[in-house]
Amino acid sequence: MLNKKSVDDINVKGKRVLVRCDFNVPLKDGKITDENRLVAALPTIKKLVNDGGRVILCSHLGKPKGEPKPELSLAPVAVRLSELLGQEVKFAADPEVVGPNAKAAVEAMKDGDIVLLENTRYRAEETKNGEAFSKDLASLCDVFVNDAFGTAHRAHCSNVGVTQFVDTAAVGYLMEKEIAFLGNAVENPVRPFVAILGGAKVADKLNVISNLLEKCDTLIIGGGMAYTFLKAQGKEIGKSLVDDSKIDYCREMMEKAEKLGKRLLLPVDTTIAADFPNPIDAPIEVKVVSVDDIPSDMEGMDIGNKTAELFAEAVKSAKTVVWNGPMGVFENPTLAAGTIAVAKALAETEATTIIGGGDSAAAVNQLGFGDKMSHISTGGGASLEFLEGKELPGVAAANDK
């Protein structure tokens, strides 16, 4: 298990603490439309404030590509955070992030005060991990805390570079929880361990499939990526999504599963339609057929009922389940049945259930199963790289205990 210094291991009284959060929230007309990420950051912020730290928050928002874009300012985040925390979060509106406003605000801080810096990606060096910006950020603080798992797979100034210029670098509660759940699931799972992969493309999950086959007892494959596997078995898949360049890879993975004595479950039936729904949630006429009977002019868009039962059955006896990627076009009510069935199976199991960010996280939350899962990862790309067995730069940069 990764043993990183956490906010419980450090003394911050009277110290300036720079906290990298993930405030990359959706905005519409300057209003935050989903504040899950703000709420998730509160425990770490409150802990540091209660311990008498002088808390300086930073985050990126969207992709301003190194220039100040008013519509991507973190100003609305400061307003909403002040309401959620019940105390003022002073916003330092510097286009260069660490500028006169930030320096003055930090200078004037008392123990327990909070300042929020402007969007770190207003600086072009942020995404290149440039030394000048890393030093600027470090100049504001005595201690650094990283609580942004969503960007842990990127080596940027505000999560990796800054750690080279501070004495103490720890992880926050959110980060600690991600490392505990995802890290343990992959490195030290309670068995039987079932992994479920979905989503559109095999290419996105090449290393994940290979790594999880070595770690899990059963690997379930649904979603758009399943059709490349079915084609690799010699089946007709009609107009379904396929990655022809990955057919040999899929064959290799099926052979690997057999060699390792692992169960690899693929759909046995599929929900088909003539064309992709447009708009995505439009009414659509579908029927369910066996994977051996997909007509050449039809497209598979969700797993069928028998597959849903097969997958749910595999989850029942599991002790650890990791799920990444929906089973079909879940944004359409008619094509959400497979994803709902899997979410329901996870909600009803006694197993530790871990949802690996991205679309699966959106799906379980939208479908109302979020509170039934042991852990929903806040990072799409980061959780995928974790499941691949990669070391994440943002995690590695924190001090060991």
Give the residue ranges of the annotated binding site for substrate. 22-24, 37, 60-63, 121, 154
Give the DSSP H/E element, type plus range, for residue 300: strand 299-303
In the block, tokens 């799920």 appear at 323
Cα dihedral 263, 264, 270, 276, rounded to 10, equals 150
- Tokens 């996870």 correspond to what residue? 346
For the question of residue 191 being annotated catalytic, the response is no
Question: How many whole angstroms separate alpha carbon 83 and alpha carbon 60?
Answer: 20
Could you tell me the CA-to-CA distances from 105 to 16, 94, 113 in Å, in that order? 12, 11, 10
The CA distance from 29 to 393, in Å, is 34
SS3 363: helix
- Based on the residue annotation, tell me whether 201 is a catalytic residue of this protein: yes
Q: How far apart are CA 62 and CA 27, in angstroms?
A: 10
Q: Catalytic pick from 5, 201, 235, 319?
A: 201
Report the SS3 class of residue 230.
Answer: helix
Binding residues for ATP: 205, 300, 331, 357-360
For this structure, is 251 an active site residue? no
Q: Is 310 helix (H, G, I), strand (E, B) or coil?
A: helix
Choice among 15, 16, 20, 37 that is catalytic: 37
Q: Is beta strand 16-20 parallel, antiparallel or unpaired with respect to 27-28? A: unpaired
In the three-class reduction of DSSP (H, G, I as helix; E, B as strand; rest coil), residue 165 is classed as helix
Output the known binding site for (2R)-3-phosphoglycerate.
Answer: 37, 121, 154
Burial 44-82 (b: 16+ CB within 10 A, else e): bbbbbbebebbbbbbbbbeebeeebeeebbbebbbebbb
Minimal CA–CA distance to 322: which of 389, 369, 377?
377
Active-site residue, 37 included: yes
Among 172, 358, 379, 394, which one carries the catalytic annotation? 358
Give the closest residue to 311 by CA, choosing from 196, 185, 189: 196
Distance separating alpha carbons of residues 221 and 198, to the nearest angstrom: 6
Question: Which residue among 52, 99, 130, 381 is the active-site one?
Answer: 381
What residues are labeled active site?
37, 201, 358, 381
